[in-house]
Amino acid sequence: MIRWLLLIPLALLIAIGASSLFFLIATMVDPVMATLTGDTLFFGFWSFLDAVLSSEDPAPIVTEAFLAVGRLVFSLLVFPPLLVAVVSEAIRARSLAWHAGAMAVLTAAVPWILRGEARVANPAELHVSFILALTGAVAGLVYWAIAGREAGGGETQQAG
């Protein structure tokens, strides 16, 4: 019972934090990610600022912007580890390959699923998917190291 109340949520928080840190570093170090996030933040910030300054009541615009960022962070960094952790507990998966692989595949697939098409427009999209897969793998590795090795509750063997 303590496992469900303390260990799993703690492991998820640490895994999400580790993968978020990895993703942040990857967006600064990797040239493709740096260009993508830099352009997105630059144009997004100025569009946001323009909308706020041209509105009589900017509160709904600010609220919607924070909700959009929250949805994006949840979809990419929180949902994949959460889903894989729940499934891992249900099927009692203990393998590092399962945790890291499932989180990597799910995290990399999120943008493709949300977009609703599997067509690759350019190689940069595959590059971003690769970075997202690494981000998911980091979450899987950290979760497994803390709680995944004993998924499904540790049954003890009795000598007999």
DSSP assignment string, 7-32: IHHHHHHHHHHHHHHHHHHHHHHSHH
157 falls within a domain: no
pTM: 0.81
What digits encode the pLDDT tens for the residues 11-64? 999 999 999 999 999 998 999 888 888 888 888 888 888 998 998 999 999 999
Of the candidates 79, 70, 76, the residue with the CA atom closest to the CA atom of residue 22: 76
The total of structural domains in the chain comes to 1
10 falls within a domain: no
40 falls within a domain: yes
What is the Cα–Cα distance from 19 to 34, expressed in whole angstroms?
17
Tokens standing for residue 77: 């960094």
158 falls within a domain: no
107 falls within a domain: yes
What digits encode the pLDDT tens for the residues 60-94? 999 998 998 899 899 999 999 999 999 988 888 88
